[in-house]
Amino acid sequence: MGPAPVVIGVDPGTQHTGYGIITEQEGQPVALEWGVISPRPSLALPDKLQTIYTALHACLETHHPDTFAVEELFFAKNVRSAVTLAHARGVALLAAAAVGLQVVAYSPLEIKQSVVGYGRADKRQVQAMVQVLLNLRGPKPAEDAADALAVALCHLHGWRLRLAFDRSRASHRRS
């Protein structure tokens, strides 16, 4: 494996879509940018989706990430909320496809386990650990941005494990 990938994590939603772009430098995860896309509440759903797509696409064109990481869809009790979330997730996936990005998805349990060490962690715990792991100064990132950074961290942790495994396997072959 080559240099550390640049990973964008996305936490989609029609009210707030969080995004976070990270990489690794000198063995440490580093946040390059993060934020929240918040379409105006008065917009119709198609216009909200256009806002999300346009902002994500611009971010992808600026940072040229290697991988697009997103949370898997989960079954919600509220069908209307689940369908609305699916719209936002679809637009996010479309933005990734438009620039030819590899998309990976992780369950909420995997993400929390990877970042906090506990799969049932709450949002505040995720937010706090993201701040610690990325050595972010100042106030904690907004919940949606922290969730997106957590998705990206989950993927980066997996990349590190695959890299270590490949190195170990290669050294055993030479022995």
- The catalytic position among 71, 122, 143, 147 is 71
User: What's the start-to-end Cα distance of the chain, in Å?
Assistant: 21
- State yes or no: is 122 an active-site residue: no
Q: How far apart are CA 84 and CA 15, in angstroms?
A: 10
47, 66, 72, 144: the catalytic one is 144
Amino acid sitting at position 136: L
User: What residue has token string 């290669």?
Assistant: 170
Dist CA 43 CA 28 (whole Å):
40
**Residue 71 is among the residues annotated as catalytic for this protein:** yes
| 103 close to 151: Cβ distance less than 8 angstroms | no
Catalytic residue among 11, 61, 66, 166: 11
Catalytic residues: 11, 71, 144
